[in-house]
A and B are shown apart, each in its own frame.
Chain A
């Protein structure tokens, strides 16, 4: 008995097996990210007034990353079209671009992560808050023993609420300078990690899960570009189907980002 519809579509559904499979898988992915987006909504609605942050992320970097990812979607389509037109070398060129763009995206994303992990909010002993990026720590700096001092590049505010909205007009005029704070003045010092605020928790969870998808997608596309492309010479139609299916996944990953970008950066 032959195994049907691996390459040619079934007549009543118009699909070959793998294409239906990837669509079903994407349906489950929609539910996965949908649950996380609804978590975002609930956390944001449940936040205390004024305590949901705005403008904590750099919109220019986010825009750049959006452009990178959308471009990679275009090259993915071009790679598939090249396969359909039986132009193997063009396929190789376009998918090489896709992989480079994917890696660019991950690099930019890790720079953003790094930026958050060097950003500190310091609760001062006098009840004020200092906030900024770490410049240096003195060698004997130890918060538990209250020795040494820390230097950050940032500013000082009276209330924590003032650190939340970085999109308001006045926030543009904040003067940032190097502040050196002795450990004796510090009550609590916390990085902008996922533990700092539920906004950062959902930001890191969503973007890390998305980055995981980007990396997995890049690995699959990399496989099809490299060792997997041998199938081109034996069964080009089936290989083209593989490019299409992996491309569908890639478009989905882009689509998730297109939702993530406004939700996390702009709103």
Chain B
């Protein structure tokens, strides 16, 4: 097979039934905005969620300033905030209420509007149908509706910043009665937005599962699916079955807010020293159970797609079959199943009882086994290979230790005894950010650098990719590593002044370094983290410029398969035409046949017939 680049008008060429391209240009709106084509929807989702990610990051920068220098006006952005939000940002500094609302929205935006839509929906939209040799998703118009619901949900969330009283303030977990009793309307917007976002997730999940089951190309048996497809397939089931309980919970909390029911409000609830005018009889724990029934599978929704992406890139750049393909598949399935049985490890301190805690502590320890198996398979795959160190591979390699740190520091949180000390401190912030930020987001960067040539026909700049990589790797650790220390010293996670009052009160009586107080060293780490976060923001600039500049000016790919990969998405034109493949591909072999002895090349595409 000689190297060649097929040219189609990008995303517009329409392949007619008998292989003759039909010249039919649907125009800008039909091509890029209201398109049922899975590749366009993938790109839409990708760009939208990257914007949300940047926005969530900015919220965090403002909060870090407030934590490090409580009450000091924020340079440059402070006056701007005051102009837009008024009293809540008086003198250009965040009020505690605004801090709370930024905290809630940072979590919500990062989880539901940035990482899930990017890792799960954007990547599987673009890659999954190509990898299984399908012409599109099983339900293209449903797919379009999913993106539209997502945008509506996002707009509702963003609008809530500008209503009187501002956005939701009760954290991304929205625990009742707090969430219900805050007298502003931010929570109503949050709940309404969530209903749309959940609906969009459900539509995508139905679509992905149906696509994988129904539209696999001939010969693409289950054990020939690339691991990325398996990971997204399991993720789809998690979304499908875990999101609806949160939707039900959101409906109930909305009823509490709007119809003054008492689903989550107990009898005798007092607010501001007054007995609340509610019928009572509700259960605050019910909200937490329903929330975490979503919330914990959600963690695996964040991590499984990342593992899928990393697996593709590692196999491609080690030029070896991935080690333990079957173990990977069964581990992903085990994670999917077990993730429904661990949710209450978020609730050890709620008084739900030690017997329940023991059950959930046991399942939590069990679920770490398949995660470790997956990571071990990746590490063993590296052994003895001649690795190609390109930007996607660097990010994929960094994912391994970063996710490792995030995962292993989770073990003390999974035991209910040690969790009593660490619960709700900066330790847990460090833990889950290691999983999601240098973990999942690194895998997402890897995926963007890896599949960019397929989307555009051009490579991203390698030098600036490396600048982006090393900057991100160093400063992610500068930010999150100190938080472990802060958390173990007892720094609570939701204090709007970064613990200034708390530590001062104790220090004056008993000197520094008392148990429960916060030493000056620990407090000083806030400044360290603040500047780390600012530089992390700066090193994203090369990435943003690289991403857009390379669309027009990047180095052109010299073939449809610039990475010499085996999976099907590289065996069609670049960018792929409207129905992906000129003729339905036929699959003859597994996904990772690299360096097979006796072949003249070091990779054998899945659709290459046996000789």
Which residues of A line the B interface, CB within 8 A? Answer: 1-5, 10, 13, 15, 17-18, 20-21, 24-25, 27-29, 31-36, 39, 42-43, 46-48, 51, 193-198, 200-202, 204-205, 209
Contacts and interface: CB of A to CB of B under 8 A. Distances in A.
B262 A205 contact: no
Contacts of B285: 42
Nearest to B285: A42
Nearest to A2: B17
Contact of A28 (B17, B240, B582, B583): B240
Interface in B226-244: 240-244
A130 B432 CA distance: 55
Query: Chain B CB within 10 Å — which of A3, A27, A28, A43 has the most?
Result: A28
B279 interface: yes
Given A31-B243, A35-B290, 15 more contacts: A2-B584, A15-B214, A17-B210, A27-B241, A32-B248, A34-B244, A35-B244, A35-B245, A39-B290, A42-B289, A51-B281, A195-B259, A198-B261, A198-B263, A198-B279
B206 interface: yes
A163 to B, nearest CB: 13
A196 B259 CA distance: 10
Contacts of A46: 281, 283
25 contacts: A5-B214, A13-B214, A15-B214, A20-B213, A21-B139, A21-B206, A21-B207, A25-B202, A28-B206, A28-B241, A32-B247, A35-B247, A39-B263, A42-B286, A42-B289, A43-B281, A43-B283, A46-B281, A51-B281, A194-B259, A195-B262, A196-B279, A197-B281, A201-B255, A201-B263
Nearest to A10: B214
A39 B242 CA distance: 15
B251 A198 contact: no
Interface string B175-218: 00000000000000000000000000010011101100111000
Nearest to B254: A205
A41 to B, nearest CB: 10
Nearest to A190: B279
A220 to B, nearest CB: 14
B249 interface: yes
B312 interface: no
A39 B252 contact: yes
Nearest to A195: B260
B135 A21 contact: no
B219 interface: no
Size bracket of the B interface:
35 or more
Given A1-B579, A31-B241, A32-B244, A43 B215 contact: no
Nearest 10 CB-CB pairs, A to B?
A201-B261, A35-B245, A35-B248, A32-B244, A31-B244, A195-B260, A198-B281, A1-B579, A1-B135, A24-B206
B573 to A, nearest CB: 12
B282 A3 contact: no
Contacts of B583: 1
A209 B282 contact: no
B460 to A, nearest CB: 29
B136 interface: yes
Nearest to A32: B244
Contacts of B280: 198
Contacts of A197: 279, 281
B281 A47 contact: yes
Nearest to B246: A35
Contacts of B249: 35
B244 A24 contact: no
A170 to B, nearest CB: 25
A32 B206 CA distance: 15
B104 interface: no
A10 B213 CA distance: 10
Interface in B253-271: 255, 259-263, 267
Nearest to A17: B138
B262 A198 contact: yes
Nearest to B278: A195
Most chain A CB neighbours (cut-off 10 Å) among B142, B243, B259, B582: B259
A228 to B, nearest CB: 15
Contacts of A201: 252, 255, 259, 261-263, 279, 282
A25 B209 CA distance: 11
A187 B282 CA distance: 24
A127 B15 CA distance: 79
A10 B214 CA distance: 7
B581 interface: yes
B197 to A, nearest CB: 14
B11 to A, nearest CB: 16
B290 to A, nearest CB: 6
A43 B284 CA distance: 10
Contacts of B241: 27-28, 31
B135 A3 contact: yes
A42 B283 contact: yes
A20 B214 contact: yes
Nearest to A36: B248
B256 to A, nearest CB: 8
Nearest to A37: B248
B240 A24 contact: yes
Given A24-B210, A43-B286, A201-B255, A195 B261 contact: yes
B245 A205 contact: no
A172 B197 CA distance: 49
A25 B202 CA distance: 8
A180 B583 CA distance: 82
A43 B256 CA distance: 14
B584 A1 contact: yes
Nearest to B16: A1
B330 to A, nearest CB: 21
| Most B-side CB within 10 Å, residue of A42, A51, A196 | A42
B104 to A, nearest CB: 22
Nearest to A22: B206
Output the residue of A20, A39, A193, A202 with the most chain B CB within 10 A.
A39
Contacts of B100: none
A71 B320 CA distance: 61
B580 interface: yes
A227 to B, nearest CB: 17
Interface in B485-515: none
A63 to B, nearest CB: 27
Given A197-B281, A198-B263, A198-B279, A31 B245 contact: yes
Most chain A C-beta atoms within 10 Å of own C-beta, residue among B207, B278, B281: B281
Nearest to B260: A195
A207 to B, nearest CB: 13
